Structure 1
Amino acid sequence: MRRELRAALAIAVGALVAGALLGVAWGFLAPAERLVVVTDGRGAPLTGESLHRFDALAIFVCFGAGLGLVSAVAVWRARSVRGPLALLALLLGSAAGAYAMADIGELVAEVRNPRPDDPIVGQIVTLPAEVEAWQALLIQPLLAGLVVLFLAALSTAEDLGTGFTGPFGESKPVGAAGADPGHPAAEAYPAYPLGSEPPASPAQPDSGWSRPGLSER
């Protein structure tokens, strides 16, 4: 259990750090939106600039989906720690990583394109990119969980290739025959010596009756 808990902690922290790093990349790649100030505190987007809001969200979703896919495959490759703890750590780490990606990405975008304090009418300002749909944060953990469940469904081994019969810990290793050594699937019988015949089965006791016509045949 301790080894699996350490692996689960490493999975969660790894997903969180990877999400934070992708957030920095998203903050540099997400396009900003330019507006012209029409009145105090209000602006109108320039031609085609409103599409950048969708572009920024699409880049964020692609980053989250890619990270969820790669992290799920990497966790599945760790054969010895496959199980509920690894899946739970992956889901929690992916959710935290998606939140960190959005938070850090918006902070980087704000540093690159700071909002003006009091722009005058007619001035063109640049607004930093934002993750406007909270549903985008669900893409990374959702895809990571689905990939792990899909790989588990494709696995032909009941132990998912871990080598242990139990879902937690290493207390029940799978034997050579694929069963628990404490409960063998079949009992071994000694072979007969070469040239000998197996002993005859004991004669069945006479039941004292027979069907009509069987004794005459």
Structure 2
Amino acid sequence: MRRELRAALAVGVGVLVVGALLGVAWGFLAPAERLIVVADGRGAPLTGESMHRFDALAIFVCLGAGLGLVSAAAAWRARSVRGPLLLVALLLGSFAGAYAMADIGELVAEMRNPRPDDPLVGQIVTLPAEVEAWQALLIQPLLAGLVFLFLAALSTAEDLGTGFTGPFGESRPVRAAEPEPEPAVYTPYPQDTAPDPRWSRPGPSEH
């Protein structure tokens, strides 16, 4: 049980850390949107600039989906600790990692393109990228959970290859199957090679 808790904690923290690092990468990769100030507090996007909002969201979703796929495959490699604890840790770490990726990514994008305080009318300003759809945060944990469950469904072993029958592992080890007894080998009775006198014919010397 302790071993499984340590493995689950390591998986959750690892996914969170990688999500934070991907947030830094997203902050540099996500394109900013340029606007022209038309009035106080109002701006109009330049031609083609409005598509950058979709591009930034698409990059975020791709990074989250990739992390969900890789993290689920990596967690499944921990054969001896497969089970519900590992799945829960993977899901929680994926939720936290997606949130950290969005939060840190927006912070990095804000540092690269700070918002102007009071821009003048006619001035072109650059707005940092944002994760505008909260549904994008669900892609990473959803894909991670589906991949993990898919791999579990493909497993032909009832214990998922852990070597334990219980859901929490070490308390219930699987007993090794006793070897089957070898089949008995029956040896036929030895046959007498001497000829039976009742069936022997007299030779010419006996007449």
How would you bin the TM-score normalised by the shorter chain?
0.7 to 0.9
For 1:93-108, list aligned pairs within 5 A: 93-108=93-108
Give the Cα–Cα distance (whole angstroms) in 2 for the partners of residues 175 and 30 of structure 1.
Answer: 54
Match of 1:24 in 2: 24
Letter in 2 for 1:111: M
Question: So what's the TM-score if we normalise by structure 1?
Answer: 0.83
Match of 1:51 in 2: 51
Give the Cα–Cα distance (whole angstroms) in 2 for the partners of residues 61 and 193 of structure 1.
Answer: 67
1:43-87 Cα offsets, whole Å, 9 max, x none, are 000000000000000000000000000000000001001000000
Structure 2 unaligned spans of 5+? 189-207
Question: So what's the TM-score if we normalise by structure 2?
Answer: 0.87
1:137-159 Cα offsets, whole Å, 9 max, x none, are 00000000000000000000000
Cα drift, residue 100 of structure 1: 0.1
Match of 1:162 in 2: 162
1:166-202 Cα offsets, whole Å, 9 max, x none, are 110312222333xxxxxx8x9x678657449xxxxxx
Give the Cα–Cα distance (whole angstroms) in 1 for the partners of residues 45 and 125 of structure 2.
Answer: 10
Match of 1:214 in 2: none
Whose Rg is larger? 2
Match of 2:171 in 1: 171
- How many aligned residue pairs are there? 189
Give the Cα–Cα distance (whole angstroms) in 2 for the partners of residues 4 and 152 of structure 1.
Answer: 17
Give the Cα–Cα distance (whole angstroms) in 2 for the partners of residues 115 and 12 of structure 1.
Answer: 34
Is 2:18 aligned against 1:14? no
Give the Cα–Cα distance (whole angstroms) in 1 for the partners of residues 13 and 183 of structure 2.
Answer: 56
Give the Cα–Cα distance (whole angstroms) in 2 for the partners of residues 102 and 79 of structure 1.
Answer: 31
1:193–1:48: structure 2 CA closer, same or farther, 3 Å change rule? closer
Give the Cα–Cα distance (whole angstroms) in 1 for the partners of residues 125 and 158 of structure 2.
Answer: 60
1:189–1:59: structure 2 CA closer, same or farther, 3 Å change rule? closer
- Determine what percentage of the aligned residue pairs are the same residue: 85
Structure 1 unaligned spans of 5+? 178-183, 197-217
1:192–1:154: structure 2 CA closer, same or farther, 3 Å change rule? closer
Letter in 2 for 1:88: V
Match of 1:3 in 2: 3
Give the Cα–Cα distance (whole angstroms) in 1 for the partners of residues 145 and 34 of structure 2.
Answer: 38
Give the Cα–Cα distance (whole angstroms) in 1 for the partners of residues 181 and 72 of structure 2.
Answer: 46
Letter in 1 for 2:99: Y
Match of 1:74 in 2: 74
Give the Cα–Cα distance (whole angstroms) in 1 for the partners of residues 185 and 159 of structure 2.
Answer: 39
1:17–1:191: structure 2 CA closer, same or farther, 3 Å change rule? same
1:195–1:6: structure 2 CA closer, same or farther, 3 Å change rule? same
Match of 2:128 in 1: 128
Runs of 4+ in structure 1 over 3 Å off: 188-196
Give the Cα–Cα distance (whole angstroms) in 2 for the partners of residues 25 and 147 of structure 1.
Answer: 24
1:33–1:164: structure 2 CA closer, same or farther, 3 Å change rule? same
Letter in 2 for 1:96: A
Give the Cα–Cα distance (whole angstroms) in 2 for the partners of residues 112 and 102 of structure 1.
Answer: 15
Alignment RMSD, CA only? Answer: 1.8
